[in-house]
Structure 1
Amino acid sequence: MIEPTIPPITEDDIANYLANTPDFFERHASLLATVQLTSPHSHRAVSLQERQAEMLREKIKALELKAAGMIRHGHENTAIADRLQRWTRELLLTRETRELPRVAVREIAAQFLVPQVAIKVWGVAPEYATEDYAQGASEDVQTFASSLTLPYCGANPGLEAAKWLEDAASVASLALIPMRAGIAPHAFGLLVLASSDSQRFATDMGTDFLERIGEITSAALSRLRPVVPAAV
């Protein structure tokens, strides 16, 4: 008669046994004192208790780093919110409608430390048509702006809008933010933010904040557009 082959005990079997038999070490307490492990820090043999203490210290350090990161991000978000509030306040305090684009550009550069900022609007009321920001946007740019559902971020592949900047040759990354009146499908302006840092406006960056900038700018600059008579 052939006896059945008993499979060898594996490490998983031992681990499962110990995990499901919590009183094992109570019955064999002396075993704990003889267990020696290799410390990843000193590469010497240490007791199980010492290794557990090391692991606990590592977990505490990781939690401290995570907490510090959360605090840092919280401070950064608060700083951004404060800058956004100051920028919005400047727009609200601007009484001269024709000055709104210039204030928007100046304060974006100052509050958010953007090296170069430019803006163009079109379809404005006749009294603003001679302003520099109301000229120079070709039909191609207007069509491109209307095609953007989200801000464009990335390198400058020779975009026409980049030529509105004072030093287009130094631009390594830029953001193009379309301006719309409410939910209108067509844009009535384009805001350009640029930097010599290729990662400042990287292609994989989030655009939520830039979208808020676009919405506020659009709301403020909508005062430049012709007043449409109410339907009778």
Structure 2
Amino acid sequence: MITEDDIANYLAITPDFFERHAQLLAQVQLTSPHGNRAVSLQERQAEMLREKIKALEHRIMDMVRHGTENVMTADRLQRWTRTLLTWRDTRQLPWEVLSGLQRQFMVPQTGLKLWDLDAAYAEEGYVQNVSDDVKALATSLTTPYCGLNAGFEAASWLNDPQQAVSLALLPLRAEPEQPAFGLLVLASPDAQRYHAEMGTDFLERIGQLAGAALSRLRA
């Protein structure tokens, strides 16, 4: 018996069939997806084209929106980087790193600890009470950690640890292959702000820039 697949295959390999039987095109009636009424094959094809065009328009709108967001993010990153490059008070530079991230990128909470700095900074709050576990964690991170706050010690550096539902932990290095000399924490009450499936390219840039700027405090 001839099956529907046989008919479909025949029509696919015989493109001139409807040229020889043009009257069939006018006789074919299909059910409209927008109701129970019957429509011609040409009208159904027109509806399918309109749906494809609408889907493409939505994709273009998404691309434009993402492009605009990327430009705005790049502008914020440039302003933050410019401030780090021109900041003269190295003692206050770590605090400016944190406040700049909050201002430019609307990060609800930020925290920071540094180690192996010049002895001149030994009494600063950002070098106090750093455990060996934190140092080992920072050095082990090759990319930022993003996910739920699972009781990380670094969350205790924040002003309100109870509101830190999701975290991004960024290791700070003077050079890519060197051990970390600091750990930067970004926190949010939104569980989806920092999650395991998100891309980390932008966070890596922030960590690299912060690490390069703060390397001025090292011995």
Instruction: Report the TM-score, using the length of structure 2 for normalisation.
Output: 0.96
Aligned equivalents of 1:181 and 1:84: distance in 2? 19
CA apart distance, 1:185: 3.8
SS in 2 for 1:12: helix
* 1:132 maps to 2:120: no
Aligned equivalents of 1:196 and 1:46: distance in 2? 53
Q: 1:143 aligns with which of 136, 140, 155?
A: 136
Deviates more, 1:40-49 or 1:52-61: 40-49
Aligned equivalents of 2:14 and 2:22: distance in 1? 14
* 1:207 maps to 2:192: no
CA apart distance, 1:136: 1.9
For residues 81-96 of structure 1, what are the structure 2 equivalents within 5 Å? 81-96=74-89
Percent of aligned pairs sharing the same letter: 64
Match for residue 116 of structure 2? Answer: 123
SS in 1 for 2:110: strand
SS in 2 for 1:192: strand
Aligned equivalents of 2:162 and 2:102: distance in 1? 18
Q: 1:61 aligns with which of 54, 61, 69?
A: 54
Aligned equivalents of 2:131 and 2:16: distance in 1? 80
Which amino acid counterpart does residue 115 of structure 1 have in structure 2?
P
Match for residue 11 of structure 2? Answer: 18
- Structure 1 outlier segments of 4+, above 6 Å: none
**Which whole-Å deviations, capped at 9, do the CAs of 1:150-198 have from their partners, x for residues lacking one?**
1111111111110000000111101110111203442100000000000
Match for residue 36 of structure 2? Answer: 43
Match for residue 101 of structure 1? Answer: 94
SS in 2 for 1:43: coil
SS in 1 for 2:98: helix
Aligned equivalents of 2:117 and 2:80: distance in 1? 23
Aligned equivalents of 2:9 and 2:139: distance in 1? 62
Q: 1:176 aligns with which of 169, 175, 198?
A: 169
Q: 1:28 aligns with which of 18, 21, 45?
A: 21
Aligned equivalents of 1:184 and 1:68: distance in 2? 41
Deviates more, 1:135-144 or 1:21-30: 21-30
SS in 1 for 2:111: strand
Q: Provide the aligned length of Structure 1 versus Structure 2.
A: 219
Is there any run of 5+ residues in structure 1 with no aligned partner, and where? 1-7, 227-232
Aligned equivalents of 1:56 and 1:34: distance in 2? 21
Do the aligned partners of residues 9 and 184 (structure 1) sit closer, same or farther apart at CA in structure 2, a change above 3 Å counting? closer
CA apart distance, 1:100: 1.2
SS in 2 for 1:194: strand
CA apart distance, 1:23: 2.4
For residues 212-223 of structure 1, what are the structure 2 equivalents within 5 Å? 212-223=205-216
Instruction: Report the TM-score, using the length of structure 1 for normalisation.
Output: 0.91
Q: CA-atom RMSD, angstroms?
A: 1.1
Match for residue 110 of structure 1? Answer: 103
Match for residue 230 of structure 1? Answer: none
Is there any run of 5+ residues in structure 2 with no aligned partner, and where? none
CA apart distance, 1:19: 2.1
CA apart distance, 1:21: 2.2
SS in 1 for 2:187: strand
Aligned equivalents of 1:204 and 1:28: distance in 2? 54
Match for residue 229 of structure 1? Answer: none
Do the aligned partners of residues 144 and 48 (structure 1) sit closer, same or farther apart at CA in structure 2, a change above 3 Å counting? same
Aligned equivalents of 1:22 and 1:150: distance in 2? 54
